[in-house]
Amino acid sequence: MVNFCEFDKYAAKSYCAIHSTDETLNLGDITKVDETAIPSFNMICGGSPCQDFSSAGNRKGAVWTCRKCGHQYNPLQVHYSKRDQCEKCGSTDIDKTRSSLLVEWLRIIRGTRPTWGIYENVKNIVGKQFRDTFRLFEEELQEYGYNTYWSVLNAKNYGIPQSRERVYLILIRKEEDNGRFRFPEPLDAVVRLKDILEDEVDEKYYLPQEKVKRLIEDMEDRKALLFEPDEAALEKWKANELHMVGQINEPGKFSQTGRVYSSEGCCPALTTCSGGNTQPKIIHVGNINKGHITGRVFSPLGIACAHLASHDQAKIVEKAVGAIRGRYEDDGTIRQKLEVAEPKDMVHTLTSVAKDNIILVRAKSQKGYEECRSSGVANLSFPKTLKNGRVIQNGDISPTLTTTPGVRRLESLIRIRRLTPLECFRLMGFSDEDFWKAKEAGVSDSQLYKQAGNSIVVDVLYYIFFELYVAMPYLFDDIRLSSFFSGIGAFEKALKRLEETVNH
């Protein structure tokens, strides 16, 4: 590596810790970098801030505004020699969006002419609204003498349980390009979010039980608090797709941020939002064999939610005791409701109706489920026809044993927690060692969340680099890398992984 360029001081601190690099190599603010004064390099990488192209941002795109006369223009539509002054009044007092940093990246390339490079941004940059901007960006690279290749790839197809679609653009000097490069095909292997979760986490990551109660109410309203899907749900189920199982926010209030997903699949894309529990949540419900990982029962109706780049990260639902209680409605009628015990380590007071500590098991009945008490037994096999009698006397008596080992003891508990910073690093393809290096350098949890959400998935970059190596191995001879918008160094980690693969 020749140098790196990162404006955020906390990200730079993590970068240096992870890559054992001195902070003196940081170029800092790209707008102040003199491209004629930096050491020579032959590879450039970068992923400029995406907020102005993202559907979660303000979508201002690459539009600049003259503060003097108010004229707006796309800098890519103006020759680079005249971009920094208003074409109407000549003023150089220009309000530039954050995503105009891609213009700064072009400036660096124009002045240094590396052999090849790679650029990453959100999928929306090639959508209908910003397609022309991306086209102009690509055409300018071609004007500089580069061939360009781009594709939208999803991290969930490359060994990472996160649904994160991003645009990847490769630029290669025309005289170096043999035309053989192809983007990697999706992998067959599927990794689920539950495969990367920590076994034990601190209590500080758990949400209040009131959030659990709201989830229970929502799931009960939709008859969704069931340990297994019906036949239609099974047909739709895919381990690498998102499936919502519940909602923890009040109806009509920030519905997107209150969504809860299953941990049986992948995670939605990590974002950089912070505060107010704005991130998605994931669910894990129950055990069939106490103390044994193989006995865990997960809701098969969904996959994990997106990890965010703040302290308010994706949530998973774990354990809590529930009970079905008769509650009076406003009109005087009594409605049976499933409630969660408070606090988490206590059960509801036992009653004569035998409906405490209840688990719902899907069944072919008017209600759509049968009630089984905690530590009771039920037939959890997945027959084509969901018959009655899967739970006998609230689980006190075993259903008929069959050749299918489907009769299990149930221990129902539900809790919701945020993903930990370590889990977020794992969802971006960084190793535990990388995380602890950044953590031990004194970087706070909130900054670690942000850095993960702002990063690029290492595994996707690795498979791109691998295909590029197969097509043109000479591009990787004596790499001298200059990294812009470096974050915590995903490009560098992917290159190191490729080197280990090639030299193995």
CA dist 451 → 6, 10, 281, 287, 308 (Å): 12, 9, 19, 34, 9
Residues with Cβ < 8 Å from 473, sequence gap 6 or more? none
b/e burial code for range 86-112 (CB count within 10 A of at least 16 → b):
beeeeeeebebbbbbbbbbbbbbbeeb
d(CA 248, CA 206): 14
For residue 186, how many other CB atoms are within 10 A of its CB?
A: 12
d(CA 110, CA 142): 11
Residue 46 has, within 13 A of its CA and on its CB side, a CA count of 26
Report which of 207, 291, 299 is spatially closest to residue 257, judged by C-alpha positions.
207
User: Torsion over CA of 464, 467, 469 and 471, rounded to 10 degrees?
Assistant: -140
Report which of 145, 139, 86 is spatially closest to residue 112, judged by C-alpha positions.
145
DSSP secondary structure string, 117-138? Answer: EEEEEEGGGGSTTTHHHHHHHH
Catalytically active residues are 50
Residues with Cβ < 8 Å from 450, sequence gap 6 or more? 10, 272, 274, 309, 310
The rounded Cα 149 to chain-centroid distance in angstroms is 25
DSSP secondary structure string, 299-351? Answer: -TT--PPPPBSSSS--EEE----EEEEEEE-TTS-EEEEEEE-SSTT-PPPP-
The answer to whether the bond into 343 is cis (omega within 30° of 0) is yes
Report which of 117, 97, 96 is spatially closest to residue 106, judged by C-alpha positions.
117
d(CA 111, CA 126): 26
For residue 41, what are its two tokens? 């390099």
Which of helix, strand or coil describes residue 213?
helix
d(CA 396, CA 378): 9
